[in-house]
């Protein structure tokens, strides 16, 4: 039996562990699921014959080393900053390792030693990063192999609520870490290239510079720019590309309403508010508006942000109970962002029967034989339920598949890797299709950067 | 002869040194002006019989200690973070010390030892902080002495161009460190209290939440909130006050136009722009606008920020040459804020004959004998020329006066101090009048917080 150690058995591990258990008999695997909570680990193993659950405190060096030594390959589902100690143990005990996280500087620093020991440390092989790399590189490589020259690459990803569970005005529910949603766009201007020109969008305008995209069968979505559009320029071999843009997908109208929170200052995470615990939702909203003894909080907000009375934005705010004088915040020394998260969780938490949805679309513009062409590649994945969510499937399945393929010697390039090589993306994208994670490609006219896609 | 050591002979030391030299014969003083540039030190001493210029590298411990040991009192005009080493030497050689800077934590930590040695380390005794403390505390103490209870304190200060030199559409020129003007409002939401309610303004709205004030003889001004309105609440003894607000003064219309820079992202200092050196002013502006092959930078900007063609904001932008394709930025690896500073310096640098102006106004609302009343206290100071600027006078004269009064034993309270005690503010405010720095007080109806003063 070949032993796979999965460290971390949270929500995002369910599809990963299921896949491995399902393959365990035919592939001769034993899956050891380790978590700080034995109960959570057990809930994932479900008494499977080829699985076992163990309690593991990652900060306990003896326990950690023992578990790693006792495995053939390690999957770390820990928070990103905890991968490094696992990676060092893997180096020491000569084990391959797989994560879904961005390659940190620390992780990167192990590259030479990993190569020397012929070890594979595969990272960024979840959804985003992960499926985005693989699906993009497959098309980019095929264009290049035909002799094409890349002109444009745009890539959009979003975690949303499935249409059948979409029952609020924002067409949005939290399907992942809410805090990351609240803080999206913080930390600096978004930077990208359009037709050879560097463009910068400051936070205060990020949600007013969206683009509209369409996905066949699912209608229109909007995209706001990520901070890091140029991060993979060199890695993808796109140093000379004219247009490079990455963005986050929401349903149309989300960003325009979210901008209200930005303008009010409700997404600020840099200071704590006075007396936040005893504040009502209405008090919270009023904190960002000028004092006026004669006007309501409602009218002050409308006037301040110039919201017409029949604007749907208004209904969106009301739906969140932002003006409720009776609901208390109940959080001590909280930042505006923490309070907003609390308020949004009241409205945007998935119900028991709700399903989530992952949407990804890439646009590839290129020149081949003197002709400009464009490929649009789209993927939509809908969750089965609240355990096998679209997020758990799209993050966990590529991780699991990569792990098995490394174990089986199908993926062989050693070092600190990300999945941009054909030996990785080709078999994994092929197998993902069996699980309904399918990119639909179509050829569209080359638009270059079409100004009609811009909303001011 | 009593020796006064002035460390730092930059622009803001001119009135300070002049005052001390003027008093030197009658007061039996010798003024030692120390600067890293002997030439600059000499230019301030002007061969005065009771003055001498020395070259001093503040990082040279031997030189520094020697100069301090050889003096009776030390004025540090160094950048704020360099005061501490001077202060430690002053403690060691038992010298009093005076600065115009905010009391740092490090400085504060010397309080006990200063008291033990009966030394006075007087800080925050320039303009702002300085004259603001003294003029505010004089009125607050007089209200309290009559048995009044403070309800409201608002305080506004600005460094502007004098009316006779005001010849641009912004009614503004740089009279102090331009970088601080560009970065005003950075670093967190502005926080204040209005009628007992805490209010927060995020950076992206700071310049759209101005108040209008009037100063007799000088017309209307506007005020935007400082970050630190509550800093002196306890120090002034205003813990129970209902309204507490501090702000920065500009001519009306400045903030609405400045907001364009904020919205575009031009005041961002957190990242460097690609190829900033070879960028034209027009390229810089275009970096913050969406790509469009068919529209001009001008129209894109107007449309993006909804500027009507006949809006004066537009003329203000054009006046700055923001759309000039021929003027090069010429700064390597520059941040947007650094580039904006360069562009604004082209237009907002004082000409040789230009004069600057300092404006300060306090509003004191209080209840006395069951009646609510309000005092408005205003000061305007206009510079004599480019050497004896309003800024140099208002910063340097209180510093110089305090130094002499400490030397003469008129100010006696030891410790790390700021000028909020009567023994300090009364004689200094009185003497400042002789130099034209005069607060005009008048009684006005108590407005509390008058909503009509608010511009959305």
Three-state secondary structure call for residue A226: coil
Q: Is the peptide bond before B129 cis (omega within 30 degrees of 0)?
A: yes
The token pair at B389 is 């600027």
Identify the DSSP state of A179: H
Strands annotated E in B135-176: 149-161
Q: Buried (b) or exposed (e) across A1-23, using 16+ Cβ within 10 A?
A: eebbbbbbbebbbbbbbbbbbeb
How far is B84 from chain A, CA to nearest CA, in Å? 28
A131-257+352-453 matches A2-122 in CATH topology: no
* Measured distance between the N- and C-terminal CA atoms of chain A, rounded to whole angstroms: 59
Handedness of CA B15, B20, B24, B29 (dihedral sign): negative
CB distance from B158 to chain A under 8 Å?
no
Which of A188, A336, A454 minimises the CB distance to B290? A454
Only one residue has tokens 């899956």, namely A31
Identify the DSSP state of A382: E
| pLDDT at residue A156, as a whole number | 97
Backbone angles phi, psi at B113, to 5 degrees: -65, -35
CB distance from A164 to chain B under 8 Å?
no
The token pair at B327 is 């003027």
Interface A:B, Cβ pairs < 8 A: 116
How far is A194 from chain B, CA to nearest CA, in Å? 6
The closest alpha carbon to A154, from A219, A249, A218, belongs to A249
Only one residue has tokens 């985003």, namely A128
| pLDDT at residue B142, as a whole number | 97
The closest alpha carbon to A170, from A246, A257, A102, A247, belongs to A257
What is the C-alpha separation between A306 and B32, in angstroms, rounded?
A: 60
Q: Is the pLDDT of residue A169 over 90?
A: yes
Strands annotated E in A336-370: 356-368
CB distance from A199 to chain B under 8 Å?
yes
The token pair at B203 is 């950076």
User: pLDDT per residue over A412-444, tens digit each?
Assistant: 999 999 999 999 999 999 999 999 999 999 999
Which of A201, A271, A288 minimises the CB distance to B188? A271
| Partner-chain contact A288 B200, CB within 8 Å | yes
CB distance from A279 to chain B under 8 Å?
no
CB distance from B449 to chain A under 8 Å?
yes
The closest alpha carbon to B275, from B210, B209, B328, belongs to B328
The closest alpha carbon to B191, from B222, B230, B154, belongs to B230
Distances B396 to A182, B19, B131, B432 between C-alpha atoms, Å: 47, 8, 11, 11
Q: Is the pLDDT of residue A187 over 90?
A: no
CB distance from B235 to chain A under 8 Å?
no
| Partner-chain contact A189 B268, CB within 8 Å | yes
Of A196, A265, A297, which to mutate for an interface test with B (greatest number of B Cβ within 10 Å)?
Answer: A265
Of B195, B207, B277, B291, which to mutate for an interface test with A (greatest number of A Cβ within 10 Å)?
Answer: B291
What would the CATH number be for the domain defined by B2-122? 3.40.50.720
B264 close to B305: Cβ distance less than 8 angstroms? yes
User: pLDDT per residue over A364-420, tens digit each?
Assistant: 999 999 999 999 999 999 999 999 999 999 999 999 999 999 999 999 999 999 999
| Partner-chain contact A451 B275, CB within 8 Å | no
CB distance from A444 to chain B under 8 Å?
no
B242 close to B309: Cβ distance less than 8 angstroms? no
- Entry field: residues in chain A: 456
How far is A195 from chain B, CA to nearest CA, in Å? 7
The token pair at A383 is 């969750």
Report chain A's mean pLDDT, rounded to a whole number: 95
Closest residue in A to B200 (Cα–Cα): A288
Closest residue in A to B199 (Cα–Cα): A287
What is the C-alpha separation between A111 and A100, in angstroms, rounded?
A: 17
The token pair at A207 is 């949600």
Backbone angles phi, psi at B347, to 5 degrees: -105, -25
Distances B409 to A137, B26, B403, B423 between C-alpha atoms, Å: 79, 16, 10, 11
B322 close to B285: Cβ distance less than 8 angstroms? yes
The closest alpha carbon to B383, from B15, B10, B13, belongs to B15
The token pair at A241 is 């590309």
Q: Which residues contact residue B105 at a Cβ distance below 8 angstroms, ignoring those fewer than 6 apart?
A: none
| pLDDT at residue B6, as a whole number | 97
The CA-based angle A124-A128-A131, given to 5 degrees, is: 80
Which pairing describes strands B73-76 and B2-7: parallel, antiparallel, or unpaired? parallel
B437 close to B136: Cβ distance less than 8 angstroms? no
| pLDDT at residue A449, as a whole number | 61
Every domain of chain A and the residues it spans: 2-122, 131-257+352-453
Stretch A168-183: mean pLDDT: 95
Closest residue in B to A305 (Cα–Cα): B456
CB atoms within 10 A of CB B59: 10
| Partner-chain contact B336 A200, CB within 8 Å | yes
Burial status of residue A194 (CB atoms within 10 A of its CB: 0-12, 13-18, 19 or more): buried
Considering only CB atoms, which chain A residues are within 8 Å of B289? 199
Q: Is the pLDDT of residue A316 over 60?
A: yes
Q: How confident is the model at residue A292 (pLDDT cuts 50, 70, 90)?
A: confident
Q: Is the pLDDT of residue A455 over 90?
A: no
Q: Is the pLDDT of residue A141 over 60?
A: yes
What is the C-alpha separation between A135 and A236, in angstroms, rounded?
A: 12
What is the C-alpha separation between A68 and A76, in angstroms, rounded?
A: 11
The list of chain B residues with pLDDT below 50 reads: 451, 453-456
Give the strands of the sheet with A2-7, arranged side by side. Answer: A51-55, A29-35, A2-7, A73-76, A96-99, A120-122, A415-417
Q: Which residues contact residue A429 at a Cβ distance below 8 angstroms, ignoring those fewer than 6 apart?
A: A134, A135, A138, A439
Stretch A249-278: mean pLDDT: 97
Considering only CB atoms, which chain A residues are within 8 Å of B303? 456
Which of B189, B287, B291 minimises the CB distance to A271? B189
CB atoms within 10 A of CB A221: 23
Only one residue has tokens 């299709």, namely A433
| Partner-chain contact A288 B203, CB within 8 Å | no
| pLDDT at residue B187, as a whole number | 86
CB atoms within 10 A of CB B445: 9
The token pair at A315 is 């209904």
pTM, entire model: 0.90
B 328-357 residues inside an 8 A Cβ radius of A: 336
How far is B241 from chain A, CA to nearest CA, in Å? 15
Of A197, A201, A202, which to mutate for an interface test with B (greatest number of B Cβ within 10 Å)?
Answer: A202
Considering only CB atoms, which chain B residues are within 8 Å of A304? 456
Closest residue in B to A266 (Cα–Cα): B202
In Å, the largest CA–CA distance within chain B is 75
Helices within B305-353 (DSSP H only): 312-319, 336-348
Task: Look at the domain B131-257+352-453 and name its fold.
Answer: Dihydrodipicolinate Reductase; domain 2 (3.30.360)
* Measured distance between the N- and C-terminal CA atoms of chain B, rounded to whole angstroms: 59
Backbone angles phi, psi at B431, to 5 degrees: -70, -35
Q: Is the peptide bond before B152 cis (omega within 30 degrees of 0)?
A: no
The token pair at A351 is 């119900």
CB distance from B268 to chain A under 8 Å?
yes
Query: DSSP letters of A93-160?
Result: HT-EEEESS---HHHHTTHHHHHHTT-EEE-S-BBTTBHHHHHHHHHHHHHHHTT-EEEEEEEEEEEE
How far is B76 from chain A, CA to nearest CA, in Å? 33
The CA-based angle A244-A249-A254, given to 5 degrees, is: 130
CB atoms within 10 A of CB B225: 24
| Partner-chain contact A288 B451, CB within 8 Å | no
Burial status of residue B107 (CB atoms within 10 A of its CB: 0-12, 13-18, 19 or more): buried
CB distance from B270 to chain A under 8 Å?
yes
B118 close to B415: Cβ distance less than 8 angstroms? no
User: pLDDT per residue over A69-126, tens digit each?
Assistant: 999 999 999 999 999 999 999 999 999 999 999 999 999 999 999 999 999 999 999 9
| pLDDT at residue B121, as a whole number | 98
CB distance from A190 to chain B under 8 Å?
no
């Amino acid at each position: 039996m070949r032993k796979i150690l999965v460290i971390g058995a949270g929500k995002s591990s369910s599809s990963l562990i299921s896949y491995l258990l399902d393959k365990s008999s035919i592939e001769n695997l034993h899956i050891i699921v380790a978590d700080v909570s034995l109960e959570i680990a057990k809930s994932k193993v479900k008494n499977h014959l080829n699985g076992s659950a163990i309690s593991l405190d990652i900060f306990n060096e003896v326990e950690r080393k023992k578990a790693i030594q006792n495995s053939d390959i390690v999957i770390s589902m820990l928070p990103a900053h905890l991968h490094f100690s696992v990676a060092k143990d893997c180096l020491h005990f000569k084990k391959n390792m797989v994560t879904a996280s961005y390659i940190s500087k620390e992780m990167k620093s192990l590259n030479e030693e990993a190569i020397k020991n012929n070890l594979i440390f595969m990272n960024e092989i979840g959804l985003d990063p992960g499926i985005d790399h693989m699906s993009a590189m497959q098309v980019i490589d095929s264009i290049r192999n035909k002799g094409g020259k890349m002109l444009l690459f745009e890539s959009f990803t979003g975690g949303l609520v499935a249409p059948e569970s979409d029952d609020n005005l924002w067409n949005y529910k939290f399907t992942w870490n809410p805090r990351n949603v609240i803080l999206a766009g913080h930390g600096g201007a978004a930077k990208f290239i359009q037709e050879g020109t560097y463009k910068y969008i400051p936070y205060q305008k990020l949600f007013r510079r969206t683009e509209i995209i369409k996905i066949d069968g699912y209608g229109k979505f909007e995209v706001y720019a990520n901070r890091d559009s140029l991060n993979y320029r060199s890695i993808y071999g796109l140093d000379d590309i004219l247009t490079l843009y990455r963005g986050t997908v929401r349903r149309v109208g989300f960003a325009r309403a979210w901008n209200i929170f930005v303008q009010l200052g409700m997404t600020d995470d840099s200071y704590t508010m006075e007396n936040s615990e005893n504040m009502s939702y209405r008090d919270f909203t009023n904190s960002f508006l000028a004092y006026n003894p004669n006007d309501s909080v409602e009218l002050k907000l409308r006037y301040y942000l110039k919201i017409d009375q029949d604007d749907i934005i208004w209904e969106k705010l009301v739906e969140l109970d932002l003006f409720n004088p009776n609901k208390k915040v109940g959080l001590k020394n909280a930042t505006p962002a923490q309070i907003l998260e609390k308020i949004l969780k009241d409205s945007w938490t998935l119900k028991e029967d709700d399903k989530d949805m992952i949407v990804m679309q890439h646009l590839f513009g290129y020149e081949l034989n003197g002709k400009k062409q464009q490929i649009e590649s789209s993927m939509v994945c809908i969750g089965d339920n609240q355990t096998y969510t679209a997020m758990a499937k799209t993050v966990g399945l590529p991780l699991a598949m990569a792990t098995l393929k490394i174990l089986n010697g199908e993926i062989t390039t050693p070092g600190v890797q990300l999945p941009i090589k054909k030996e990785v993306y080709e078999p994994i994208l092929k197998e993902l299709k069996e699980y309904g994670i399918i990119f639909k490609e179509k050829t569209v006219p080359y638009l270059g950067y079409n100004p009609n896609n811009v909303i001011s």
